[in-house]
């Protein structure tokens, strides 16, 4: 009896939870409510109640009633919104379809994962390592010394200018996971060893995972994309692009977690750096603007403090200041890609500058969940376009041009 009354109670709640705007307050709404009341009780005999006040369903014709005025669950009028099971179904389907892709890939290419290959690539050509290795190689002893002192009692003492003009302070800023200098950074009281160990293990595991996924999944797809590009076969190019989008996006997500959660937290923990807001909930972005404000907080804070706000203070309009920031960001994105590839193309630059019209389009035409879907779509599709463009140009420049010349 308790079950039954509970279920009917929940049904009544659902029907009753209609927004009043839909029910309205006019005569039609009143009539509808009347029908509802009649539907709920009607002119059926009033149910008998036991001494606890519960409806006694075992007597008379009351127990035969099984219909009431109510909406189907998928109607928005029903007010029902628990789709947890459907979300789980999506995850199961995703795992199943990717398991099939994984098997197909293995059958087609065998095992391509080779961690030694990556290490040997760097070992073979140590002179073209990024300048970061110089910084770490040259400055590590200083950093270690600074770290030890800072860890001792840095959480308590505050520094004021010009006492901060020391190597220790300089090195602390260089290695701290921030781009914005402060005299007194917020400090954590101690190093949490288990937290640090988890972050370090994540760093190791995720690095291997990313390298493995690139070797096994991305490289063959990219290699197979060269012919459609050469033949300018547009339908095949789009097919390759969509195929590349899945591993590219997955690797990008892993990279996000690896860099912004594992690496930056590990460094911060070691250095007692207290501000751990390296990212915010960009995955809920309903606009492109929100995404750029929340996905890379160290860069965003730098842009705001050293570029955007100074421009606003000097009288620039918001639009001009935003344009200036994206122009600088586009330059650095291009720089980071062009230098290692040793070829100057403007794909990364264009991709970054395209964010401005994109932000306008998404903001103008999409709202709520549609806006969120639009942001995800631009992330999933936009990046592989740039990747394919660079690979294509690199291939033409390094493999086709020399052969043509010969």
SS3 state of residue 219 = helix
Residue with Cβ nearer ligand COA (248 or 289): 289
Name the H helices within 110-188: 115-124, 132-153, 167-175
Establish whether the linkage from the previous residue to 162 is cis, with ω within 30° of 0. Answer: yes
SS3 state of residue 141 = helix
Whole-angstrom Cα distance, residue 315 to residue 349?
26
Structure tokens at 273: 């750096």
Contact call for residue 293 and ligand COA (CB under 6 A): yes
SS3 state of residue 300 = helix
Contact call for residue 296 and ligand COA (CB under 6 A): yes
Contact call for residue 329 and ligand COA (CB under 6 A): yes
Contact assessment for residue 15 and residue 71, using Cβ atoms and an 8 Å cutoff: yes
Whole-angstrom Cα distance, residue 258 to residue 394?
27
Which range binds ligand COA by CB under 6 A, 109-117, 156-164, 219-227, 302-310? 302-310
Which range binds ligand COA by CB under 6 A, 51-59, 120-128, 272-280, 323-331? 323-331
Which range binds ligand COA by CB under 6 A, 30-38, 147-155, 271-279, 310-318? 310-318
Residue with Cβ nearer ligand COA (268 or 321): 321
- The β-bridge partners of 187 are 273
Residue from 199, 272, 300, 392 that binds ligand COA (CB under 6 A)? Answer: 300
Instruction: Say whether 272 is catalytic.
Output: no
User: Shortest approach of ligand COA to residue 367 CB, angstroms?
Assistant: 18
Residue with Cβ nearer ligand COA (122 or 332): 332
Q: What distance, in Å, lies between the first and last C-alpha atoms of the chain? A: 89
Which range binds ligand COA by CB under 6 A, 92-100, 152-160, 200-208, 295-303? 295-303
Catalytic-labelled residue, pool 67, 249, 306, 333: 333
Residue from 222, 251, 268, 325 that binds ligand COA (CB under 6 A)? Answer: 325
Contact call for residue 322 and ligand COA (CB under 6 A): yes
Burial class (CB in 10 A: 0-12, 13-18, 19+), 303: buried
Whole-angstrom Cα distance, residue 285 to residue 97?
27
Contact call for residue 299 and ligand COA (CB under 6 A): yes
Residue with Cβ nearer ligand COA (176 or 303): 303
Whole-angstrom Cα distance, residue 285 to residue 373?
9
Give how far Cα 73 sits from Cα of 15, 82, 161, 243, Å.
10, 10, 65, 36
Residue with Cβ nearer ligand COA (224 or 317): 317
Work out whether the CA dihedral 173, 179, 182, 187 comes out positive or negative.
negative
Q: Judged by CB under 6 A, how many residues of this single chain contact ligand COA?
A: 17
Structure tokens at 93: 């389907």
Residues 44/46/50/51 CA torsion (nearest 10 deg): 170
Residue numbers 66-95 binding ligand COA by CB under 6 A: none
Residue with Cβ nearer ligand COA (164 or 316): 316
Contact call for residue 308 and ligand COA (CB under 6 A): yes
DSSP codes joined into one string, 29-40: HHHHHHHHHHHH
Contact call for residue 366 and ligand COA (CB under 6 A): no
Contact call for residue 386 and ligand COA (CB under 6 A): no
Residue with Cβ nearer ligand COA (272 or 300): 300
Contact call for residue 292 and ligand COA (CB under 6 A): yes
Which range binds ligand COA by CB under 6 A, 154-162, 194-202, 228-236, 294-302? 294-302
How many Cα atoms occupy the beta-carbon half-sphere of 53 within 13 Å? 0
Q: What backbone torsions phi and psi does residue 293 show, to the nearest 5 degrees?
A: -80, -15
Residue nearest to ligand COA (CB): 329
Q: Which residues of 28-48 are buried (b: 16+ CB within 10 A; e: fewer)?
A: eeeebeeebeeebeeeeeebe
Which range binds ligand COA by CB under 6 A, 254-262, 325-333, 364-372, 381-389? 325-333
Contact call for residue 240 and ligand COA (CB under 6 A): no
Residue with Cβ nearer ligand COA (241 or 297): 297
The residue ranges that bind ligand COA (CB under 6 A) are: 289, 292-293, 296, 299-300, 303-304, 308-309, 312-313, 318, 322, 325-326, 329
Active site residues: 333
């Amino acid at each position: 009896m308790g079950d039954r009354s509970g279920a009917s109670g929940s049904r009544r709640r659902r029907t009753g939870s209609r927004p009043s705007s839909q029910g309205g307050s006019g005569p039609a709404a009143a009539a509808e409510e009347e029908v509802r009341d009649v539907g709920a009780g009607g002119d059926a005999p009033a149910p008998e109640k036991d001494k606890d006040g519960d409806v006694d369903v075992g007597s008379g014709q009351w127990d035969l009633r099984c219909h009431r005025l109510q909406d189907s669950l998928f109607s928005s009028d029903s007010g029902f919104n628990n789709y947890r099971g459907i979300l789980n179904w999506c995850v199961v389907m995703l795992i199943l379809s990717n398991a099939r892709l994984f098997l197909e890939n293995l059958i087609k290419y065998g095992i391509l994962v080779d961690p030694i290959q990556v290490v040997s690539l760097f070992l073979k050509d140590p002179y073209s390592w990024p300048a970061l290795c110089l910084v770490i190689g040259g400055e590590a002893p200083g950093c270690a010394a600074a770290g030890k002192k800072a860890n001792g009692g840095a959480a308590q003492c505050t520094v004021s200018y010009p006492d901060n003009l020391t190597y220790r302070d300089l090195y602390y800023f260089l290695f701290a996971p921030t781009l914005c200098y402060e005299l007194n950074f917020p400090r954590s009281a101690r190093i949490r060893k288990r937290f640090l160990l988890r972050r370090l293990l994540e760093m190791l595991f995720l690095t291997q995972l990313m390298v493995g996924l690139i070797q096994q999944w991305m490289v063959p797809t990219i290699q197979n994309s060269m012919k459609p590009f050469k033949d300018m076969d547009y339908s095949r190019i789009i097919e390759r692009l969509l195929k590349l989008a899945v591993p590219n996006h997955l690797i990008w997500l892993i990279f996000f977690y690896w860099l912004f959660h594992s690496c930056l937290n590990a460094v911060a923990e070691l250095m007692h750096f207290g501000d751990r807001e390296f990212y915010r909930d960009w995955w809920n972005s309903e606009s492109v603007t929100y995404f750029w404000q929340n996905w890379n907080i160290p860069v965003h804070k730098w842009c705001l403090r050293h570029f955007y706000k100074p421009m606003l203070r000097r009288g620039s309009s918001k639009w001009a200041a935003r344009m200036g920031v994206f122009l600088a960001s586009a330059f650095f994105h291009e720089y980071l890609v062009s230098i290692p590839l040793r070829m100057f193309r403007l794909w990364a630059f264009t991709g970054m500058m395209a964010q401005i019209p994109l932000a306008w389009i998404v903001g103008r035409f999409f709202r709520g969940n549609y806006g969120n879907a639009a942001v995800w779509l631009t992330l999933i599709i936009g990046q592989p376009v740039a990747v394919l463009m660079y690979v294509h140009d690199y291939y033409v420049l390094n493999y086709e041009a020399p052969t043509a010349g010969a």
